[in-house]
Amino acid sequence: MWQTLAIASVFFPGLFALSVRSLGWAAPAWSLKDRILLSSRMVSSVQATMATVSGIIVVLNCKDVVHDRYWLAVEYVWVIVPYMIYDIYIMYFCHWHKSKDTLEKKHSLASVRSFLEKDRLMVTHHLFILVILTPVAQYFRGELGDFFVGCIFVAELSTPFVSLGKILMQLKMQDTLLHKVNGILILVTFFLCRIVLFPFMYWAYARHMGIPIYMVPFHIPMHCNVANASLIAPQLYWFVLICRKAVRLYSSSPSAKNR
């Protein structure tokens, strides 16, 4: 636990700093703000890939979805904890750099307040994972449910595509075929891994217990239903936003989008 926490606490900030420095050498014409934004998205993609691979490994190694154990289901949570703390700070740091023209040049309560107003849902989501889901995943569930922890890890599959979409927009490549294909991948992976994932977990439990899927909410502890509802609610909101962006992307001509 402590070794994993220490390594992850150094790895993500170190990777971010290395990326910013490397982009300074590779693209000296880029502003510091551009290098910071791109680096934050690259680190996010790295973590998401690590989480997805870990989740797939856990899921494939847990044939009994309730009782089977696999070490990554516990160990990778200790990677997520420092990442979430790092990511909250980096989100603020990116917001401050993007808003320097309208905010004070130095960090202040005003800049923190502006960040929290703009990204309150994402910050709440991160804090929910840290304060609620981490204790549940590591202690309160006992030795049950590694399969479902692995499923939650797989939810990160859409993140690299979301990050790539932002990077392409940052590079002024939003009218390219790559951006449109990536948009389709965002929709598909987000829908499957952040929306369909939750009914799938209920179906897997129902199949294991030999009960109808509609009986699962009454067969599992109430806090499991509350946790799942708390996780899927923001995903549904973000999916609606993604769909709206997709409609604009695929229905507007390049000339219309440039007006």
Q: What is the pLDDT of residues 92-114, one digit of tens each?
A: 888 888 776 555 566 778 778 88
Report pLDDT for 257: 45
Q: How many independent structural domains does the chain possess?
A: 1
Report pLDDT for 104: 54
Report pLDDT for 143: 83
The answer to whether residue 257 sits within a structural domain is: no
Secondary-structure breakdown of the chain: helix, strand, coil percentages, each rounded to the nearest 5 = 80, 0, 20
> What tokens were used for 161?
């595509």
> What tokens were used for 178?
């790559």
The per-residue pLDDT of the chain, averaged, comes to 87
- Residue ranges in the chain whose pLDDT is less than 70: 100-106, 249, 252-259
Rounded-to-integer distance, Cα 238 and Cα 216, Å: 26
Q: Is residue 219 a contact partner of residue 211, using CB atoms and an 8 Å limit? A: yes
The answer to whether residue 256 sits within a structural domain is: no
Report pLDDT for 105: 62
The answer to whether residue 209 sits within a structural domain is: yes
Residues 6+ away with beta carbon under 8 Å from 180: 249, 250
The answer to whether residue 144 sits within a structural domain is: yes
Quickly tell me which residue has 């790295």 as its tokens: 46
Rounded-to-integer distance, Cα 241 and Cα 256, Å: 20
Residues 6+ away with beta carbon under 8 Å from 57: 70, 72, 150
Containing structural domain, residue 221? 2-251
The answer to whether residue 17 sits within a structural domain is: yes
The answer to whether residue 258 sits within a structural domain is: no
Report pLDDT for 103: 53
> What tokens were used for 3?
């070794």
The answer to whether residue 259 sits within a structural domain is: no
Summarised one tens digit per residue, pLDDT across range 28-76 is 888 888 899 999 999 999 999 999 999 999 999 999 999 999 999 999 9
The answer to whether residue 113 sits within a structural domain is: yes
Rounded-to-integer distance, Cα 103 and Cα 74, Å: 41
